[in-house]
Amino acid sequence: MTLIEKILAAHSKKIVVTPGDIIDVEIDCRVARDFGGANVVKNLTDNGLNINDINKTLFTFDCNPTGSDQKYAVNQHICRLFARQNGIRVYDIDAGIGTHILIDEGYVFPGATAVSTDSHANILGAIGAFGQGMGDMDIAAAWHKGKVWFKVPPSVKIYFEGNVPAIVTSKDFVLNLLRLFGANSLLGYSIELYGDCIGGMSLDDRITISSMATEMGAIIILFPPSDGIISYCSGHSKTGFIALFADPDAHYEKIFNIDVTEFRPLVSRPGEPHDTVDVSEVYGVKIDSAFIGSCTNGRMTDLEKASIILKNRKIAPGVVLKIVPATDAIWNECLEKGIIDIFKKAGALVSNAGCAGCAAGQVGQNGPGEVTVSTGNRNFPGKQGKGSVYLASPDIVAASAVAGFITTPDKIPAEPSLFLKQEKTEFSTKKELTNSDKEERESIIEGKIWLVPGDNIDTDMIFHNRYLSVTDIKEMGQYTFDNLKGFETFARNASPGDIVITGKNFGCGSSRQQAVDCFYSLGIKAIIAESFGAIYERNAINAAFPVIVCKSLQEMNLNDGDIIRINLKTGEMINIRTGSVHSADPFTDVQYEIYQKGGLLG
C-alpha cells in the first residue's frame, strides 16, 4: 500500500484498503476553529449529540485571535462556553495556528489522523500524518462518533532528482509544483514526495510545501517522515507511535520524475496561486503593502530569513508590512532573539500569532486597488480583501517591502520607490432573502440550467469570507456568487428548482459549509460539474445536496435555460431540448443513503 493507504487502513481496522474504498476512519485529533466552531456547536446541540473523547477534541482560535471582529468574538465565546460545559481544551487567541499547534504540542505524529474546520489541515502531511479540512457537519460527526467516512484517494508519487538551487526556498519549491501541475491536474490525489532533496528538508520547509496541497486540488502532500521528523515528534508526542511508510511494491496511479535543478524563484500573480511566473516578469510592480506569515510561511526559519533582510533597513515610505508568527512559541522565540526588535525598527506591524489575513482574520486584508505581496497560500479574488495579491517567499516579500516594489534580496535599490496608488473602496448591497421549501428526496430530478463557465471557481467566489459569520441557512442565499465576476446578480435572478452547470474543480479553496448551503437556501436543485473540490464535494454530500460529476459536459451542447433531467442512481442525463443522452457518475451507496436521510446528521 501507499502511505495514505497504510494510514487509513491502520485507522479503519482494515488489513488492506484500495483507492475508491469508502471506509470509516478513526480520527486521532478532532479540531474546530473560531471559523466554523460555532456551527459545530450548533450541529451538536441541535441534534443532542455528545462528545466521543474530550482528550482528542480541541478548539483552536486562530482566524481572528484578536477578537477584533464582533461576530468572531461572539462565535469564540459560544465555543468557550461549550468547552467549559464539556471539559474540552481551548487553544485560545494567545496560542496561534491550530495545525501548527497539533504538530508542536504532539497531538499529531507520523501515521496519525486529524480533521479540522481548516481546509489546510492537510498541512499535517509534513510529518507523514493524515490531515483533512472538513465542513462543520463533518466535524460535529467526528466529535460525536470519533470517526468519519472517507473515500480512499488514488496516490501519486513524485521523485525529485538533483539538488535544489541555493536561491530556491521551500515556497519557491511549491510554487514550481503549482506551475507544473496547476490547480486541478492532481485533483483528488494523495501526493507522496521522494528524493535526496526531500529527505533532508526541515520541518518548516515541509510545512510550507504541504500547506499548499489544497491549492493544487490534492487531498494531501505527504512527506515520508525522516529520522529528524520522527525524533522531533517523539519528543513532543502525547502518546507513543510507530511511523508508517509506503510499501516498496505500492501501486501509484501516476509517477513523475522532476529535475529540481531547473527550479527557480517564482511569484504567483493575483487571482490564482498556480499562475506562477519568474520574478523577473513582475519585477518593479509597485506595492502598497506586504505580508509575512500564514500557515505557509509563519515558522521560525521564515521569520529569521525576513529579519536578515530587514535588519538596519526601513520599510519603503507609504508601504505597510504586516508580520504574523504562526504560534505564540515562535513569537516568543523571535522576541528572545531580538527579531521582533528588528521588525519594529524597520517599521513593520507585528501582530499576535494566528492565521492573519486568511478568512478575514486579524490583519492582512487589503482594500480596492491595493497591491500586496504576501507569503500566504491563496490570492483568490477577495480572499485577502478587495485588492490584488501576489504570492512569494519571505525573502522576496521582505525585499519588496524595503524597495516599495516587487524585487529579490539581491536587487534592493539604494532608494525606495515612493509612488503609492490609491483607489476608492467599493460596496455592494443585496436584496432580502428568498427561500424555497426543502426538496423531496427524489432519485430523478429535472430543472432549468444556469451555465456558469470556468474552472477552479473557489469558495470565496461562491460565498465570500466576509459573510462567514452568517449561521442561519435562510440568510445565506442572498450572497451566492456575489464575488464571481459576471454572476453578481445570480441570487436575485435564480429560481427554486434551477440547476447549475459548471466546469472543473468547482468549490476549491476553503472548507466553508456556507458555499453549499447558500444554494440550498435559494432552492437550487443540484450542481453538475466536470469535477469538484474534495472538501466541497464532501460538504454537499453530507448536506444531502445533489452534486453530480459529468466529465462529458462539453459534448452536451447546452444552452442557458435548457431543461435537463438526471437519474441520481444511474447517472443518466438527458437534455430535453435536444433529446441527447449522456452519462454522469451515479451516486455512491453512501451518497444516496445520506441524501435519503436528509443529511449526515439526519
pLDDT in tens, 512-551: 999 999 999 999 999 999 999 999 999 999 999 999 999 9
Instruction: Give every CB contact of residue 240 below 8 A, 6+ residues apart in sequence.
Output: none
pLDDT, mean of residues 549-575? 92
pLDDT, mean of residues 178-199? 96
Q: Give the pTM.
A: 0.84
* Report for 91-100, 356-365, 554-563: range of highest mean pLDDT: 91-100
Q: String of b and e for 107-116 (b: at least 16 CB within 10 Å)?
A: bbbbbbbbbb
* 124-140 confidence digits (pLDDT tens): 999 999 999 999 999 99
In what order do the strands lie in the sheet containing 547-549? Answer: 547-549, 526-529, 499-502, 444-452, 563-567, 572-575, 581-583
Instruction: Give every CB contact of residue 532 below 8 A, 6+ residues apart in sequence.
Output: 505, 506, 507, 540, 547, 549
* 436-453 confidence digits (pLDDT tens): 434 458 899 999 999 999
Residues of the chain above pLDDT 70, percent: 96
Determine which of 24-28, 352-356, 411-415 has the lowest per-residue pLDDT on average. 352-356
pLDDT tier, 430 (very low <50, low <70, confident <90, very high otherwise): very low
* Residue pair 202/301 in contact by the 8 Å Cβ criterion: yes
* 221-237 confidence digits (pLDDT tens): 999 999 999 999 999 99
Return the pLDDT at 73. 85
* 343-391 confidence digits (pLDDT tens): 999 999 999 999 887 766 677 778 888 999 999 988 888 777 788 999 9
* Count of Cβ atoms closer than 10 Å to residue 303 Cβ: 31
Where does 453-585 show beta strands of DSSP type E?
A: 499-502, 526-529, 547-549, 563-567, 572-575, 581-583
pLDDT, mean of residues 54-76? 86
pLDDT tier, 593 (very low <50, low <70, confident <90, very high otherwise): very high
Domains and CATH numbers, the chain: 3-262 (3.30.499.10), 269-411 (3.30.499.10), 444-597 (3.20.19.10)
User: Assign residue 245 a region: left if phi > 0, alpha if psi is -120 to 50, beta otherwise?
Assistant: beta
pLDDT, mean of residues 230-246? 94
* 484-499 confidence digits (pLDDT tens): 999 999 999 999 999 9
